[in-house]
Amino acid sequence: MTGNLQFDAQGRLRHFLTIDGLSRETILEIFTIAESFISVGEREIKKVPLARGKTVVNLFFESSTRTRTTFEIAAKRLSADVINLNVGASSAAKGETLLDTVRNLEAMHTDLFVVRHNQAGAAYLIAAHVPPHVHIINAGDGAHAHPTQAVLDAFTIRRHKGGFENLKVAIVGDILYSRVARSLIRVLDILGVPEVRVIAPRTLLPTAVETLGVRSYTDMGEGLDDADVIVMLRLQRERMRGALIPSEQEYFNLYGLTPGKLECAKPDAIVMHPGPMNRGLEIDSAVADGPQSVILPQVTNGIAVRMAIMALVLGGREPAEGGRPA
């Protein structure tokens, strides 16, 4: 049901809630549209008129800087009107329900909600109760999913590696609580990556993690051996119940990505991080700022990918020659 909820009766993408239910063709279509938007950010006037007259509300019930800002920039580059709702100062903080908050904003002729919430399923709940002309994009729900981050990460991998057919991708860190890891594993599977590895202490690996189609490692050196792509994850300490690592220093010693550990991977391996980074905890500054890091290009790519997803759910496509809508 959740996968079908994303599509309308004609099979067009109506909401963007999860990677589940997406076809390889849909993901590649997003990539194609995103490629056309990359150049928009390099222009003097960084706008196309695909969402002119539309209203986009960033409805963030969980703190975020990078994700909210890139969604805001993406919507404005599509020429949409954008509202950032400060939930801490909103009626929700006074006891208003999630759906009542959404319905009041709907009454202001909102076309698209970008929703981030600390409870899994929040975006689905909203999507199930909005009228047909309103669209929902999931910007992260609890420890469940972060589909736009997964797609932008896969887009970044393709831009640097050319394809997915022969790659070994290692995802390192807090696999247990990471919504990014869950969504990324799924999208890499759909795109045909032959080997995805997860590397973490046993306390941060989900039970039966291999059922996700990955190889699990508790030794950093073994897990990084011959890897083409390394995705480092932040420790989700706000979601942890109890101490799952002995100490931050010991965690960095065993699982922090240092220049020495990076040598276990292929010489041309790329290093990624969805952010925010904790330098000296999961990644060394020499690696984060080094020549193999594509962490800042991830952020740039995130704007183009989120533009593409917004354009798709709103019924638009990539800009044609001169920036007019195709």
**Residue from 46, 47, 66, 103 carrying the catalytic annotation:** 66
Q: Is 46 annotated as a binding residue?
A: no
Query: In which order are the strands placed within the sheet that holds 135-141?
Result: 81-86, 55-60, 112-117, 135-141
Q: Is 146 annotated as a binding residue?
A: yes
Q: Is 65 annotated as a binding residue?
A: no
* Active site (annotated) includes residue 15: no
Q: Is 24 annotated as a binding residue?
A: no
SS (H, E, C) the chain: CCCHHHECCCCCECCECCCCCCCHHHHHHHHHHHHHHHHHHHCCCCCCCCCCCCEEEEEECCCCCHHHHHHHHHHHHCCCEEEEEEHHHCHHHHCCCHHHHHHHHHCCCCCEEEEEECCCCHHHHHHCCCCCCCEEEEEEECCCECHHHHHHHHHHHHHHHCCCCCCEEEEECCCCCCHHHHHHHHHHHHCCCCEEEEECCHHHCCCCHHHHCCEEECCHHHHHCCCCEEEECCCCCCCCCCCCCCCHHHHHHHHCECHHHHCCCCCCCEEECCCCCCECCCECHHHHCCCCECHHHHHHHHHHHHHHHHHHHCCCCCECHHHCEC
* Active site (annotated) includes residue 32: no
Q: Is 234 annotated as a binding residue?
A: yes
* Active site (annotated) includes residue 211: no
* Active site (annotated) includes residue 146: yes
* Active site (annotated) includes residue 94: yes
Q: Is 275 annotated as a binding residue?
A: yes
Q: Is 116 annotated as a binding residue?
A: yes
Q: Is 266 annotated as a binding residue?
A: no
**Residue from 14, 77, 116, 273 carrying the catalytic annotation:** 116
**Residue from 94, 202, 207, 241 carrying the catalytic annotation:** 94
**Residue from 117, 135, 144, 146 carrying the catalytic annotation:** 146
- Residue for token digits 């994009």? 137
> Residues within the annotated binding site?
66-67, 94, 116, 146, 149, 179, 234, 275-276
Q: Which residues are annotated as a binding site for L-aspartate?
A: 94, 179, 234
- Residues with catalytic function: 66-67, 94, 116, 146
Q: Residues annotated as binding site for carbamoyl phosphate? A: 66-67, 116, 146, 149, 275-276
